[in-house]
Amino acid sequence: MKKLEAVPGNEGSEGREYDPETQRALEEIDACQNEIDQLNEKASEEILKVEQKYNKLRKPNFEKRSSIIQRIPNFWVTAFVNHPQISAILEEEEEECLHYLSKLDVEEFDDIKSGYRIKFFFDENPYFDNEVLTKEFHLGSTGDPASHSTDIKWKDGHNLLHRFRQRSTAAAAARRVGGAGDCRGTQETPGAEVILSPGSVTTVTPLLTRLPR
Protein backbone atom coordinates (compact mmCIF):
# COMPACT_ATOMS: atom_id res chain seq x y z
CA MET A 1 0.00 0.00 0.00
CA LYS A 2 1.29 3.44 -0.95
CA LYS A 3 1.31 6.16 1.64
CA LEU A 4 -1.13 9.06 1.08
CA GLU A 5 1.29 11.93 0.58
CA ALA A 6 -0.79 14.71 -0.98
CA VAL A 7 -4.24 15.87 -1.93
CA PRO A 8 -5.04 16.51 -5.62
CA GLY A 9 -4.86 20.21 -6.38
CA ASN A 10 -1.96 20.86 -4.02
CA GLU A 11 1.33 21.88 -5.60
CA GLY A 12 3.45 18.84 -6.32
CA SER A 13 0.58 16.35 -6.04
CA GLU A 14 0.47 15.54 -9.75
CA GLY A 15 1.95 12.12 -10.48
CA ARG A 16 1.61 10.88 -6.91
CA GLU A 17 0.49 7.30 -6.44
CA TYR A 18 -2.19 6.28 -3.91
CA ASP A 19 -3.66 2.99 -2.77
CA PRO A 20 -6.47 1.79 -5.09
CA GLU A 21 -9.31 2.66 -2.73
CA THR A 22 -8.03 6.19 -2.18
CA GLN A 23 -7.51 6.65 -5.90
CA ARG A 24 -11.09 5.56 -6.65
CA ALA A 25 -12.42 7.93 -3.99
CA LEU A 26 -10.43 10.83 -5.42
CA GLU A 27 -11.71 10.12 -8.92
CA GLU A 28 -15.29 9.99 -7.65
CA ILE A 29 -14.81 13.33 -5.86
CA ASP A 30 -13.46 14.84 -9.09
CA ALA A 31 -16.42 13.52 -11.09
CA CYS A 32 -18.85 14.81 -8.45
CA GLN A 33 -17.23 18.26 -8.52
CA ASN A 34 -17.53 18.37 -12.31
CA GLU A 35 -21.28 17.75 -12.01
CA ILE A 36 -21.56 20.51 -9.40
CA ASP A 37 -19.66 22.92 -11.66
CA GLN A 38 -21.99 22.13 -14.56
CA LEU A 39 -25.04 22.78 -12.37
CA ASN A 40 -23.55 26.05 -11.12
CA GLU A 41 -22.94 27.18 -14.69
CA LYS A 42 -26.50 26.26 -15.66
CA ALA A 43 -27.85 28.07 -12.59
CA SER A 44 -25.93 31.22 -13.56
CA GLU A 45 -27.46 31.12 -17.02
CA GLU A 46 -30.97 30.69 -15.61
CA ILE A 47 -30.49 33.45 -13.02
CA LEU A 48 -29.28 35.81 -15.76
CA LYS A 49 -32.42 35.10 -17.80
CA VAL A 50 -34.62 35.84 -14.78
CA GLU A 51 -32.75 39.07 -14.02
CA GLN A 52 -33.04 40.20 -17.64
CA LYS A 53 -36.75 39.38 -17.65
CA TYR A 54 -37.49 41.37 -14.51
CA ASN A 55 -35.30 44.27 -15.60
CA LYS A 56 -37.61 44.63 -18.59
CA LEU A 57 -40.68 44.33 -16.38
CA ARG A 58 -39.35 46.97 -13.98
CA LYS A 59 -38.44 49.44 -16.71
CA PRO A 60 -41.92 51.06 -17.01
CA ASN A 61 -41.94 51.58 -13.23
CA PHE A 62 -38.52 53.21 -13.34
CA GLU A 63 -39.69 55.48 -16.16
CA LYS A 64 -42.85 56.39 -14.27
CA ARG A 65 -40.86 57.15 -11.13
CA SER A 66 -38.41 59.25 -13.14
CA SER A 67 -41.25 61.36 -14.53
CA ILE A 68 -42.57 61.91 -11.00
CA ILE A 69 -39.10 62.90 -9.78
CA GLN A 70 -38.90 65.56 -12.48
CA ARG A 71 -41.83 67.31 -10.81
CA ILE A 72 -39.76 67.85 -7.65
CA PRO A 73 -37.53 70.97 -7.84
CA ASN A 74 -33.82 70.33 -7.25
CA PHE A 75 -34.39 66.66 -6.52
CA TRP A 76 -31.04 65.41 -7.80
CA VAL A 77 -28.83 68.08 -6.31
CA THR A 78 -30.57 67.43 -2.98
CA ALA A 79 -29.87 63.69 -3.31
CA PHE A 80 -26.20 64.34 -4.05
CA VAL A 81 -25.54 66.85 -1.27
CA ASN A 82 -27.25 64.58 1.25
CA HIS A 83 -25.19 61.55 0.28
CA PRO A 84 -22.46 61.10 2.95
CA GLN A 85 -19.65 60.35 0.49
CA ILE A 86 -20.55 62.72 -2.36
CA SER A 87 -21.31 65.68 -0.08
CA ALA A 88 -17.88 65.39 1.52
CA ILE A 89 -16.11 66.14 -1.77
CA LEU A 90 -18.49 68.59 -3.45
CA GLU A 91 -17.37 72.18 -3.67
CA GLU A 92 -19.82 75.07 -3.69
CA GLU A 93 -19.47 75.70 -7.44
CA GLU A 94 -20.02 72.03 -8.18
CA GLU A 95 -23.17 72.06 -6.10
CA GLU A 96 -24.40 75.05 -8.11
CA CYS A 97 -23.71 73.12 -11.31
CA LEU A 98 -25.76 70.17 -10.06
CA HIS A 99 -28.82 72.43 -9.77
CA TYR A 100 -29.09 72.01 -13.54
CA LEU A 101 -29.17 68.19 -13.32
CA SER A 102 -32.72 67.30 -14.33
CA LYS A 103 -32.63 63.55 -14.79
CA LEU A 104 -30.41 60.55 -14.05
CA ASP A 105 -30.74 57.14 -15.68
CA VAL A 106 -28.94 53.89 -14.86
CA GLU A 107 -28.79 51.22 -17.56
CA GLU A 108 -27.36 47.78 -16.90
CA PHE A 109 -25.60 46.08 -19.80
CA ASP A 110 -27.47 43.18 -21.37
CA ASP A 111 -25.39 40.56 -19.59
CA ILE A 112 -25.87 42.54 -16.32
CA LYS A 113 -22.68 41.32 -14.67
CA SER A 114 -20.24 43.20 -16.89
CA GLY A 115 -21.29 46.68 -15.84
CA TYR A 116 -23.72 49.55 -16.24
CA ARG A 117 -24.11 53.00 -17.76
CA ILE A 118 -25.19 56.21 -16.01
CA LYS A 119 -26.68 59.10 -17.97
CA PHE A 120 -26.79 62.58 -16.45
CA PHE A 121 -29.28 64.91 -18.19
CA PHE A 122 -28.71 68.63 -17.74
CA ASP A 123 -30.79 71.67 -18.54
CA GLU A 124 -29.08 74.53 -20.35
CA ASN A 125 -26.48 75.92 -17.96
CA PRO A 126 -23.53 78.33 -17.79
CA TYR A 127 -20.95 75.58 -17.24
CA PHE A 128 -20.90 73.29 -20.30
CA ASP A 129 -22.64 72.65 -23.63
CA ASN A 130 -23.41 68.93 -23.15
CA GLU A 131 -27.08 68.08 -22.66
CA VAL A 132 -26.20 64.53 -21.57
CA LEU A 133 -23.08 63.28 -19.82
CA THR A 134 -22.52 59.53 -19.78
CA LYS A 135 -20.32 57.42 -17.53
CA GLU A 136 -19.84 53.68 -18.01
CA PHE A 137 -18.50 51.18 -15.51
CA HIS A 138 -17.05 47.90 -16.75
CA LEU A 139 -16.02 44.82 -14.82
CA GLY A 140 -13.29 43.08 -16.79
CA SER A 141 -12.46 39.40 -16.89
CA THR A 142 -9.91 39.99 -14.12
CA GLY A 143 -12.64 41.39 -11.85
CA ASP A 144 -11.07 44.85 -11.76
CA PRO A 145 -13.51 47.74 -12.38
CA ALA A 146 -12.81 50.40 -15.00
CA SER A 147 -14.77 53.36 -16.30
CA HIS A 148 -14.90 55.93 -19.04
CA SER A 149 -17.09 58.96 -19.60
CA THR A 150 -18.17 61.73 -21.93
CA ASP A 151 -15.74 64.55 -22.58
CA ILE A 152 -17.21 67.65 -20.97
CA LYS A 153 -17.44 70.63 -23.33
CA TRP A 154 -16.78 73.37 -20.81
CA LYS A 155 -17.81 76.91 -21.59
CA ASP A 156 -15.11 79.60 -21.49
CA GLY A 157 -14.22 80.54 -17.95
CA HIS A 158 -16.41 77.85 -16.37
CA ASN A 159 -14.20 74.76 -16.37
CA LEU A 160 -14.66 73.58 -12.77
CA LEU A 161 -11.91 70.98 -12.98
CA HIS A 162 -9.45 73.56 -14.24
CA ARG A 163 -10.37 75.91 -11.39
CA PHE A 164 -9.93 73.14 -8.85
CA ARG A 165 -6.49 72.22 -10.16
CA GLN A 166 -5.42 75.85 -10.08
CA ARG A 167 -6.46 76.15 -6.43
CA SER A 168 -4.74 72.87 -5.58
CA THR A 169 -1.52 74.02 -7.22
CA ALA A 170 -1.63 77.34 -5.39
CA ALA A 171 -2.28 75.65 -2.05
CA ALA A 172 0.60 73.20 -2.62
CA ALA A 173 2.93 76.09 -3.48
CA ALA A 174 1.92 77.92 -0.30
CA ARG A 175 2.70 74.85 1.80
CA ARG A 176 6.09 74.45 0.15
CA VAL A 177 7.18 77.95 1.14
CA GLY A 178 6.27 77.26 4.75
CA GLY A 179 2.71 78.52 4.99
CA ALA A 180 -0.14 76.21 5.71
CA GLY A 181 -2.23 77.86 3.03
CA ASP A 182 -5.96 77.77 2.83
CA CYS A 183 -6.78 74.09 2.56
CA ARG A 184 -10.50 74.57 2.18
CA GLY A 185 -11.81 73.21 -1.08
CA THR A 186 -8.54 71.47 -1.92
CA GLN A 187 -9.47 67.85 -1.44
CA GLU A 188 -7.48 65.40 -3.53
CA THR A 189 -10.17 64.98 -6.18
CA PRO A 190 -13.10 67.33 -6.89
CA GLY A 191 -16.63 66.03 -6.78
CA ALA A 192 -17.30 66.68 -10.46
CA GLU A 193 -14.26 64.65 -11.43
CA VAL A 194 -15.17 61.77 -9.12
CA ILE A 195 -18.66 61.61 -10.59
CA LEU A 196 -17.90 62.11 -14.26
CA SER A 197 -14.23 61.56 -15.06
CA PRO A 198 -12.76 58.31 -16.44
CA GLY A 199 -11.29 55.92 -13.91
CA SER A 200 -13.28 56.90 -10.83
CA VAL A 201 -15.44 54.06 -9.57
CA THR A 202 -15.67 53.80 -5.82
CA THR A 203 -17.69 56.90 -4.95
CA VAL A 204 -20.46 56.60 -7.52
CA THR A 205 -21.09 52.91 -6.94
CA PRO A 206 -22.49 53.21 -3.38
CA LEU A 207 -24.40 56.32 -4.44
CA LEU A 208 -26.34 54.36 -7.04
CA THR A 209 -27.63 51.89 -4.47
CA ARG A 210 -29.62 54.74 -2.90
CA LEU A 211 -30.82 56.68 -5.94
CA PRO A 212 -33.83 55.98 -8.18
CA ARG A 213 -33.01 54.63 -11.63
Bigger pLDDT: 127 or 202? 127
Bigger pLDDT: 141 or 13? 141
Residue 88, pLDDT above cutoff 80: yes
Same domain for 63 and 78, yes or no, is no
What is the pLDDT at residue 178?
A: 63
Question: Amino acid identity of 176?
Answer: R
For 115-167, what is each residue's pLDDT tens digit? 889 999 999 999 999 999 998 888 776 767 788 888 889 999 888 888 777 77
Global confidence as pTM = 0.65
- Whether 190 is covered by a domain: the verdict is yes
Q: In this prediction, what percent of the chain has a pLDDT beyond 90?
A: 35
CATH number of domain containing 177 = 3.30.1120.90
108 strand-pairing partners? 116
- Whether 110 is covered by a domain: the verdict is yes
Same domain for 46 and 77, yes or no, is no
- Whether 213 is covered by a domain: the verdict is no
User: Sign of the C-alpha dihedral, residues 149, 55, 203, 141?
Assistant: negative
Domain span at residue 121? 73-208
154 strand-pairing partners? 128
Same domain for 91 and 131, yes or no, is yes
Sorted by sequence, the CB contacts under 8 Å of residue 22 that are 6+ apart come out as: 4
How many other C-beta atoms are found inside a 10 Å radius of the C-beta of residue 194? 22
Question: Amino acid identity of 122?
Answer: F
